[in-house]
Structure 1
Amino acid sequence: MRRWGPERRADGRVRFHLWAPDRSAVALKLADGGSLAMTRDEAGWFVCDAEAAPGTRYRFDLGDLQVPDPASRGQAGGVHGWSVLPAPDRYVWQHDDWQGRPWREAVIEEVHVGLAGGFAGLAEQLPGIAELGITAIELMPIAAFSGTRNWGYDGVLPYAPAEAYGTPEELKALIDRAHGLGLMVLLDVVYNHFGPDGNYLGAYASAFFNPDAHTPWGAAIDFDAEPVRRFFIDNARMWLEEYRLDGLRFDAVHAIADNGFLDAMADELREATTGRHVHLILENERNDADRLAPGRFDAQWNDDFHNTLHVLLTGEREGYYADFADRPTEKLARCLAEGFVYQGDPSANRDGARRGKPSGHLSPTAFVSFLQNHDQIGNRAFGERLTVLADPDRLRAATALLLLSPQIPLIFTGDALGSRSPFLFFTDFHDALADTVCEGRRREFAPFAAFADEQARARIPDPNAEATFAASRPKPGPDAADWRRLYRDLIAIRRRAIMPRLDGARGKAADLLGDGAVAARWHMADGAVLGLAVNLGDTPVSFPASRGETLFTLRHPGAPASFAAWLET
Structure 2
Amino acid sequence: MADQQLVPWAHGATRLGDDLTRFALWAPDAKRVSVVFDDGEVLAMSAEADGWYVAESDCSAGTAYRYEIDGELQVPDPASRAQQSDVHSASVVVDHQSYPWRQAQWQGRPWHEAVIYEVHVGLMGGFEGVAKQLPRLAALGITAIELMPIAEFPGDRNWGYDGVLPYAPEHAYGTPDQLKALIDTAHGHGLMVILDVVYNHFGPDGNFLGQYAKGFFRHDKHTPWGDAIDFRRPQVREFFIGNALMWLFDYRFDGLRFDAVHAIEDPDFLQEMARRIRKATPSGRHIWLNLENEHNEAHLLQQGFDAQWNDDGHNALHVLLTGEHEAYYAEYAEDTTAKLARCLGEGFVYQGHTTTQGVARGEPSGHLHPSSFVLFLQNHDQIGNRAFGERLVQLCPEPALRAATTLLLASPMIPLMFMGDEWGASEPFQFFTSFHGELAEAVRNGRRAEFKAFNAFQDPHLREKIPDPNAPATFEASRPAFEDFAKHQRGPWVELYLHLLTLRRRELFHRLAGSRSLGVTVLGDKAVSAKWRLRDATVWQIDLNLGEQPVPAQLPFETYHLFDSRGPGAPLESSSVLPGYTALVSLIPADAPEAAHE
Question: Above 0.5 in TM-score?
Answer: yes
Residue 260, structure 1, aligned to residue 268, structure 2: yes
Cα gap change, 1:11/1:456 in structure 2, threshold over 3 Å: closer, same or farther? closer
1:143 maps to 151
CA separation in 1, counterparts of 2:9 and 2:458? 53
Q: Which residue of the other structure, out of 371, 389, 392, is the alignment partner of 1:386?
A: 392
1:517 maps to 527
TM-score, normalization by structure 1:
0.98
Q: Which residue of the other structure, out of 554, 562, 576, is the alignment partner of 1:551?
A: 562
Tell whether the 8 Å contact from 1:329 to 1:518 is kept in structure 2 after alignment: yes
Q: Partner amino acid for 2:584?
A: A
1:507 maps to 517
CA separation in 2, counterparts of 1:179 and 1:10? 29
1:562 maps to 582
Task: Say which SS state the counterpart of residue 519 (structure 2) adopts.
Answer: strand
Q: Which residue of the other structure, out of 302, 318, 325, is the alignment partner of 2:333?
A: 325
Cα gap change, 1:178/1:11 in structure 2, threshold over 3 Å: closer, same or farther? closer
2:58 maps to 51
Task: Say which SS state the counterpart of residue 122 (structure 2) adopts.
Answer: coil
Q: Which residue of the other structure, out of 62, 67, 81, is the alignment partner of 2:89?
A: 81
1:389-424 CA-partner distances (Å, limit 9, x unpaired):
010000000000000000000000000010010000
Q: Which residue of the other structure, out of 251, 270, 286, is the alignment partner of 1:277?
A: 286
CA separation in 1, counterparts of 2:400 and 2:267? 39
Stretch moving more, 335-344 or 4-13: 4-13
Alpha-carbon shift at residue 545 of structure 1 (Å): 2.5
Alpha-carbon shift at residue 12 of structure 1 (Å): 3.6
* Residues 48-447 of structure 1 aligned to structure 2 (within 5 Å): 48-62=55-69, 63-275=71-283, 276-293=285-302, 296-348=304-356, 351-447=357-453
CA separation in 2, counterparts of 1:315 and 1:203? 48
CA separation in 1, counterparts of 2:126 and 2:134? 13
Q: Partner amino acid for 1:559?
A: P
Q: Partner amino acid for 2:454?
A: F
Cα gap change, 1:202/1:525 in structure 2, threshold over 3 Å: closer, same or farther? same
Task: Say which SS state the counterpart of residue 281 (structure 1) adopts.
Answer: strand
Task: Could you tell me which runs of 5 or more consecutive residues in structure 2 were left unpaired when the two chains were aligned.
Answer: 1-7, 573-577, 590-598
Q: Partner amino acid for 1:287?
A: N
Alpha-carbon shift at residue 173 of structure 1 (Å): 0.3
2:5 maps to none
Alpha-carbon shift at residue 2 of structure 1 (Å): 1.6
CA separation in 1, counterparts of 2:536 and 2:183? 34
Q: Which residue of the other structure, out of 537, 541, 554, is the alignment partner of 2:551?
A: 541
RMSD over aligned CA atoms reads 1.2
Q: Which residue of the other structure, out of 31, 47, 61, is the alignment partner of 1:40?
A: 47
1:188-210 CA-partner distances (Å, limit 9, x unpaired):
00000000101111110000000
Alpha-carbon shift at residue 10 of structure 1 (Å): 4.9
**Percent of aligned pairs with the same amino acid:** 57
Stretch moving more, 179-188 or 83-92: 83-92
Task: Say which SS state the counterpart of residue 551 (structure 2) adopts.
Answer: coil
Residue 29, structure 1, aligned to residue 36, structure 2: yes
Q: Which residue of the other structure, out of 457, 468, 474, is the alignment partner of 2:474?
A: 468
Task: Say which SS state the counterpart of residue 541 (structure 2) adopts.
Answer: strand
Q: Partner amino acid for 1:196?
A: P
CA separation in 1, counterparts of 2:127 and 2:488? 28
Tell whether the 8 Å contact from 1:12 to 1:51 is kept in structure 2 after alignment: yes
Task: Say which SS state the counterpart of residue 522 (structure 2) adopts.
Answer: strand
Tell whether the 8 Å contact from 2:371 to 2:413 is kept in structure 1 after alignment: yes
Q: Which residue of the other structure, out of 9, 17, 39, is the alignment partner of 2:16?
A: 9
1:528 maps to 538
CA separation in 2, counterparts of 1:412 and 1:436? 29
CA separation in 2, counterparts of 1:12 and 1:473? 43
Tell whether the 8 Å contact from 2:228 to 2:265 is kept in structure 1 after alignment: no
Q: Which residue of the other structure, out of 433, 445, 448, is the alignment partner of 2:454?
A: 448
Task: Say which SS state the counterpart of residue 164 (structure 2) adopts.
Answer: strand
Q: Partner amino acid for 2:291?
A: L
Task: Could you tell me which runs of 5 or more consecutive residues in structure 1 were left unpaired when the two chains were aligned.
Answer: none
Task: Say which SS state the counterpart of residue 50 (structure 2) adopts.
Answer: coil
1:324-377 CA-partner distances (Å, limit 9, x unpaired):
0101110111110001001011111xx221110110000000000000000000
CA separation in 2, counterparts of 1:303 and 1:269? 26
2:492 maps to 482
Q: Partner amino acid for 2:289?
A: L
Alpha-carbon shift at residue 64 of structure 1 (Å): 2.1
Stretch moving more, 518-527 or 473-482: 473-482
CA separation in 2, counterparts of 1:147 and 1:447? 31
1:528-566 CA-partner distances (Å, limit 9, x unpaired):
111101101132113323146322112355111011111
CA separation in 2, counterparts of 1:244 and 1:479? 33
Alpha-carbon shift at residue 111 of structure 1 (Å): 0.3
Task: Say which SS state the counterpart of residue 212 (structure 1) adopts.
Answer: strand
Alpha-carbon shift at residue 100 of structure 1 (Å): 0.2
| Count of paired positions | 566
Alpha-carbon shift at residue 567 of structure 1 (Å): 1.1
Tell whether the 8 Å contact from 2:19 to 2:60 is kept in structure 1 after alignment: no
Residue 20, structure 1, aligned to residue 30, structure 2: no
CA separation in 2, counterparts of 1:431 and 1:68? 22
CA separation in 1, counterparts of 2:553 and 2:540? 14
Task: Say which SS state the counterpart of residue 400 (structure 1) adopts.
Answer: helix
Tell whether the 8 Å contact from 2:231 to 2:265 is kept in structure 1 after alignment: no
CA separation in 1, counterparts of 2:315 and 2:410? 18
CA separation in 1, counterparts of 2:443 and 2:30? 32
Alpha-carbon shift at residue 9 of structure 1 (Å): 2.6
